[in-house]
Every structure is written in structure tokens, then in C-alpha cells.
């Protein structure tokens, strides 16, 4: 069904180009002298605006507060992509819709963030919903699925910013000095945050329990942390099985577990609240930076500010 919807959108976009874009459909730009940078999700949006600064208008296609994995482009989105100076997207299963659009576009310059880092295969660990059904040959026959949430590792975030810098220098070499200064400043902030996380997690061997999806594989691998979770990072949120609930409740009783239940932003927190209430614990939000609320977007929150929020929350629960 999703492929059919995207095909319909592509046809609508093609028709719009054939007939000429109306004022309603044309990409809006407050300053024609500025570059147009179109991004899919919040990390791409934030990294681009930090590097380009005032030289570009940066657009995020995903609306704040909405679910990113089910995003489908509109005809207007496709027109924005086709007419921009640089299109930045993540890659992976959630961005399969991009291929068809780029094939139909007129050579738009792109940056795929997953090309900037070493990607990891998605994990299905003990107790996780769906892990119980994977046995023997069936598990071996499953095709490789790479975890898409690469930016959750600050070291990866710094690498992605460097990739954005290279793209920026290519499309606007006259502003290269400005872009380098902006990128170096932001990478410096990210690296400083990385050092704080390194110190915080030194010697940490306890398990973190997520009553939610787990799109934090890169973060946890970076710092050598242990975890249990209800669902994989890109899994559809469904009702957890009794087996999954029982497993996580048992882990919360163990001494080597951090005594809080973690959840992620923009989820309903239903399972996390259930687990926490059963054990008399509180819940703690870990912001994955995949998307943000409309209020946070309006307030100008950034990757660094959201990860700083995570650092403060983790410092409290680990003290």
C-alpha cells in the first residue's frame, strides 16, 4: 500500500511539473539569494542548519511531533526535493521512498547520512518482542537489517557534521571558510558532550531497561552499556506479549539493573508506566533526537541541547 501511495504522489508531482507549479505548490523561499537545503528528519535538519548558518534556508519534511517511520512524501515535498540545492536524508528501510524520487529527479545533489559512518546490524536480544519467534534456520534466512539511528552516537554525529561540511563546501565554495568555522564549533560541542558521557559511564556495568522501542544501539555500543528492551528500534509498537512483560519485570528485580524504566520521546509510555508502577519505580525519558515536539522545535532545541538533556537525566538516575 505504501508503494502505491508514493507512486501516486510521484505521478502528482510529475503532473505539477508538466503543468507548471502554481504559487501554492512552488517551494517557498523568503530569500532567493539563499541556498535551499531540504532534510528528512530532525538530526539532518539540525546538522544542516548548524553548518550552513545564515547562508541557507533549511527545511525539515517530517512535521514536528509526528512518527518518522511511517512518513510518506507529499507532492509538495517532492517538488521541494527536486528544486533544492542539497537534499539530506538518512537512508535505510525507512527511506526506501527516496530511491524512486531521486530516479525521477533532475540530478539533485544528495547526502545520505548512513554513508558517513560504520553501520550496525539491528539487534534482537533476549526478552525482546519478536526475539522468541526467531529460531534455527528461520533466523538465519532473515536478511540483514541495519539499525538506522546512527546519530545517537555523538562520535557518529560529529562524522555526519563533517560530511555536511564537505557537501556545503562543494555547492558554495565561496562560503567555505564560514562553513568550516560553523562545523568546527558544533563538532567541538558534540565532542565535549561525548567526553562527559565517557566519564559518566566509566565502570558502569548495570543494565538499562527500556519499556519501549530501542533506537539507541549506536549510543549503547559506543559506551559499552548493557540493556534490555521490549521492542527493536524500528519495530512497530504493538502490545507486548506476557512473556516480554514478565521478562522485563524480572530484570527490574535484579541488583545489576538501573532502578528506573526508560522510555523514548513521542511514544505513549504505556508499557514503561506499567512496568514502573508494578515495581514502584519512576520512568525516565531518553531522547533519541529522531524527531521533536512542536514546542521544542519552536524553542530552537538542537541535537546538542537534547543530548545534554539526556546527560542530565542519566546523571541523576546513575548517582
What's the pTM?
0.89
- Predicted local distance difference test score (pLDDT) of residue 17: 43
N residues, the chain? 319
- Predicted local distance difference test score (pLDDT) of residue 130: 73
Output the tens digit of pLDDT for each of the chain's 319 residues: 444 444 444 544 444 444 443 333 333 444 568 999 999 999 999 999 999 999 999 999 999 999 888 899 999 999 999 999 999 999 998 899 999 999 988 889 999 999 999 999 999 999 998 754 544 444 445 557 899 999 999 999 999 999 999 999 999 999 999 999 999 999 999 999 999 999 999 999 999 999 999 999 999 999 999 999 999 987 766 789 999 999 999 999 999 999 999 999 999 999 999 999 999 999 999 999 999 999 999 999 999 999 999 999 999 999 9
Cα separation of 215 and 290, whole Å?
A: 9
CA distances from 103 to 36, 108, 166, 183, 309 (A): 20, 10, 23, 30, 40
Please list the residues that pair with 214 across neighbouring strands.
232
Cα separation of 149 and 163, whole Å?
A: 17
Starting from the edge strand earliest in sequence, which strands make up the sheet with 56-60, in order? 56-60, 35-39, 86-89, 110-112
- Predicted local distance difference test score (pLDDT) of residue 63: 96
Do 41 and 112 touch, CB atoms closer than 8 A? no
- Predicted local distance difference test score (pLDDT) of residue 257: 98
- Among the listed residues 303, 262, 312, 306, the one whose alpha carbon sits nearest the alpha carbon of residue 287: 306
- Predicted local distance difference test score (pLDDT) of residue 21: 39
Q: Is 37 helix (H, G, I), strand (E, B) or coil?
A: strand
Do 266 and 248 touch, CB atoms closer than 8 A? no
CA distances from 244 to 104, 231, 271 (A): 44, 9, 11
- Predicted local distance difference test score (pLDDT) of residue 306: 98
Question: Which residue ranges form the domains of the chain, and what is each CATH number?
Answer: 2-21+34-116+147-192 (3.40.50.1980), 203-288 (3.40.50.1980)
Amino acid at each position: 500500500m505504501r508503494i502505491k501511495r508514493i507512486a501516486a504522489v510521484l505521478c502528482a508531482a510529475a503532473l505539477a511539473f508538466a503543468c507548471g507549479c502554481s504559487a501554492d505548490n512552488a517551494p517557498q523561499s523568503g530569500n532567493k539569494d539563499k541556498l535551499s537545503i531540504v532534510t528528512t528528519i530532525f538530526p539532518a535538519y539540525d546538522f544542516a542548519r548548524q553548518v550552513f548558518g545564515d547562508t541557507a534556508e533549511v527545511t525539515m519534511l517530517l512535521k514536528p511531533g509526528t512518527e518518522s517511520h511511517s512518513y510518506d512524501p507529499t507532492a509538495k515535498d517532492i517538488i521541494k526535493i527536486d528544486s533544492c540545492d542539497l537534499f539530506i536524508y538518512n537512508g535505510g528501510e525507512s527511506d526506501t521512498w527516496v530511491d524512486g524520487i531521486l530516479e525521477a529527479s533532475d540530478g539533485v545533489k544528495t547526502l545520505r547520512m548512513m554513508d558517513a559512518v560504520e553501520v550496525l546490524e539491528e539487534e534482537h536480544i533476549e526478552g525482546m518482542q519478536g526475539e522468541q519467534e526467531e529460531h534455527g534456520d528461520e533466523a538465519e534466512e532473515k536478511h540483514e537489517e541495519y539499525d538506522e539511528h546512527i546519530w545517537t552516537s555523538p562520535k557518529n554525529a560529529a562524522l555526519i557534521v563533517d560530511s555536511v561540511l564537505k557537501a556545503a563546501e562543494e555547492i558554495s565554495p565561496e562560503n567555505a571558510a564560514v562553513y568550516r568555522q560553523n562545523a568546527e564549533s558544533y563538532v567541538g560541542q558534540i565532542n565535549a558532550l561525548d567526553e562527559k558521557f565517557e566519564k559518566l559511564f566509566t565502570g558502569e556495568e548495570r543494565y538499562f531497561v527500556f519499556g519501549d522501542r530501542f533506537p539507541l544501539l549506536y549510543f549503547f555500543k559506543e559506551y559499552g552499556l548493557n540493556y534490555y528492551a521490549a521492542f527493536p528500534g524500528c519495530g512497530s509498537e504493538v502490545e507486548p506479549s506476557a512473556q516480554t512483560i514478565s521478562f522485563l519485570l524480572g530484570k527490574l528485580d535484579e541488583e545489576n539493573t538501573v532502578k528506573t524504566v526508560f522510555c523514548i520521546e513521542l511514544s505513549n509510555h504505556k508499557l514503561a508506566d506499567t512496568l514502573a508502577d508494578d515495581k514502584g519505580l519512576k520512568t525516565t525519558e531518553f531522547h533519541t533526537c529522531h524527531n521533536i515536539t512542536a514546542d521544542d522545535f519552536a524553542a530552537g532545541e538542537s541535537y546538542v541541547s537534547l543530548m545534554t538533556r539526556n546527560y542530565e537525566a542519566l546523571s541523576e538516575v546513575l548517582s
